[in-house]
């Protein structure tokens, strides 16, 4: 599925036109079959094909429309029998009984489909609410920082996954978290919720960004024990913590996460960690603790944070998505356009749906006085 280039108004008009046309499709099919039946020789009987009309209606129409199509089918069959002088024959009666049975079955199928569609709509509504709670909509601006983000689920119908991010305005500056929980499904969602809750608490209380990372580690450890009753597992999360103080710098704590991209004067380069730390949940395997790294971050500078679902997306030839190269193409565009371009280009590169969840977060420091 490629990103649409049509305007929203055109998409809405097209959808409305198709929505009005859909209920007419079974009647159009019924009319075509009847005309072909009248035009063919007597030895070629197309009457049984009339059953396709109520079946089609059951798939795309409501119960009332399906009932109307089923009744019309029986009426058209009766008119065809009268026109061909076959009314009352045993073959005609058997076919009429079959059409009645197909019509009733179509009504039942339409009713079941509509009930399941209502249930699916309710489930999607709950999932979207959970998504908004887990990954809250980003503010466009926090203090002197512009923000744009996007979340792309691996499945086109999905609304929630194991990737997460958060932005908070704290007494210690603007603090950000982006991460990716190993695994998928509800356990990954549960772990994401626990880490986000811990970050939202720790970011306001801990003056040192490294202590925030330690708080997340403790939360992950407690969560693993609660869910699995284990002291150590391969269940972990990569994470990157970012702090933007009033000074023209940015502080980073790498926890096994892909390095962010820095954009300065249109030039894109990676912000690799001199001392990268282990993923959240695996700190017990190494000595020492999280290390805070400070890099310049002045007015007009940008950072692009992302999860591995972005850089590990493959095209048909198996090539990974070249994020730094593609970002450089749009580095001079406004922040929202940069994110939109990367998102659309990523989906084109992957040929539609992604194989893994992907999150992208772009930030820009405004010049002083803006």
1, pLDDT greater than 70: no
* Lookup result for tokens 């608490």: 201
Distance CA 101, CA 73 (A): 12
39, pLDDT greater than 90: no
Q: Which residues pair with 169 in a beta bridge?
A: 174
> At a CB cut-off of 8 Å and minimum separation 6, what does 25 contact?
56, 60
pLDDT at residue number 182? 78
End-to-end CA distance of the chain: 39
Tokens standing for residue 106: 């179509």
How far from 207 is each of 172, 198, 215, CA to CA, in Å? 6, 15, 12
Domains in the chain with CATH codes = 8-129 (no CATH), 136-365 (3.60.40.10)
pLDDT above 90: percentage of residues in the chain: 41
Q: Are 360 and 306 in contact (CB under 8 A)?
A: yes
Radius of gyration (C-alpha) of the chain in whole angstroms:
29
DSSP type of residue 182: S
Distance CA 269, CA 303 (A): 10
Q: Are 271 and 297 in contact (CB under 8 A)?
A: no
**CA torsion 99→83→43→97, rounded to 10°?**
20
Tokens standing for residue 69: 């199509």
Region 243-260: mean pLDDT is 93
Distance CA 37, CA 174 (A): 73
pLDDT at residue number 76? 87
pLDDT by residue (tens digit) across 104-139?
999 999 999 999 988 888 777 766 666 666 677 888
Distance CA 291, CA 178 (A): 17
The three-state secondary structure class of 330 is coil
Q: Regarding beta strands 358-365 and 145-152, do their DSSP bridges make them parallel or antiparallel, or are they unpaired?
A: antiparallel
Per the document, the length of the chain is 370
Region 248-258: mean pLDDT is 93
pLDDT by residue (tens digit) across 133-183?
667 788 899 989 999 998 887 655 555 567 889 999 999 999 999 998 876
Q: What angle do CA 182, 263, 298 make, to 5 degrees?
A: 110
pLDDT by residue (tens digit) across 284-296?
777 778 899 999 9
The pTM score is 0.68
Listed residue (27, 44, 49) closest to 102, CA to CA = 49
Q: Are 13 and 358 in contact (CB under 8 A)?
A: no
DSSP type of residue 142: E
pLDDT above 70: percentage of residues in the chain: 82
Half-sphere exposure of 298 (CA within 13 A, CB side): 3
Identify the residue with better confidence: 70 or 39: 70
Distance CA 130, CA 151 (A): 14
CA 208 to the chain's CA centroid: 34
Tokens standing for residue 316: 């048909």
């Amino acid at each position: 599925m490629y990103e649409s280039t049509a305007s929203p108004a055109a998409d809405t008009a097209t959808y409305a036109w198709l929505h009005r046309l859909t209920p007419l499709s079974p009647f159009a099919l019924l009319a075509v079959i009847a005309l072909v039946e009248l035009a063919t020789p007597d030895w070629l009987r197309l009457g049984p094909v009339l059953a396709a009309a109520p079946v089609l209606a059951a798939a795309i129409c409501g119960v009332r429309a399906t009932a109307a199509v089923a009744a019309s089918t029986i009426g058209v069959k009766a008119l065809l029998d009268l026109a061909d002088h076959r009314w009352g024959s045993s073959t005609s009666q058997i076919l009429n009984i079959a059409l009645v049975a197909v019509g009733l079955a179509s009504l039942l199928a339409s009713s079941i489909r509509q009930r399941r569609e209502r249930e699916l709509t309710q489930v999607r509504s709950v999932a979207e609410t959970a998504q908004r709670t887990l990954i809250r909509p980003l503010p466009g601006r926090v203090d002197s920082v512009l923000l744009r983000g996007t979340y792309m689920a691996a499945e086109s119908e999905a609304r929630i996954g194991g990737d997460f991010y958060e932005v908070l305005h704290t007494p210690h500056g603007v603090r950000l978290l982006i991460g990716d929980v190993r695994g998928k499904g509800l356990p990954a969602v549960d772990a994401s919720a626990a880490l986000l809750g811990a970050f939202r608490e720790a970011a306001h209380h801990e003056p040192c960004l490294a202590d925030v990372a330690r708080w997340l580690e403790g939360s992950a450890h407690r969560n693993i024990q609660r869910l699995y009753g284990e002291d150590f597992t391969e269940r972990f999360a990569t994470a990157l913590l970012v702090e933007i103080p009033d000074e023209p710098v940015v502080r980073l704590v790498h926890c096994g996460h892909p390095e962010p991209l820095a954009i300065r004067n249109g030039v894109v380069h990676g912000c690799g960690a001199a001392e990268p730390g282990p993923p959240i949940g695996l700190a017990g395997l190494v000595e020492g603790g999280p290390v805070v790294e400070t890099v310049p971050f002045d007015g007009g500078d940008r950072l692009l944070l992302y999860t591995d679902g972005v850089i590990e997306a493959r095209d048909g030839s198996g090539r990974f998505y070249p994020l730094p190269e593609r970002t450089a193409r749009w580095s001079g565009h406004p922040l929202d356009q940069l994110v939109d371009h990367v998102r659309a280009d990523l989906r084109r590169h992957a040929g539609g749906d992604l194989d893994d969840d992907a999150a992208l977060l772009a930030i820009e420091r405004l010049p002083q006085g803006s």
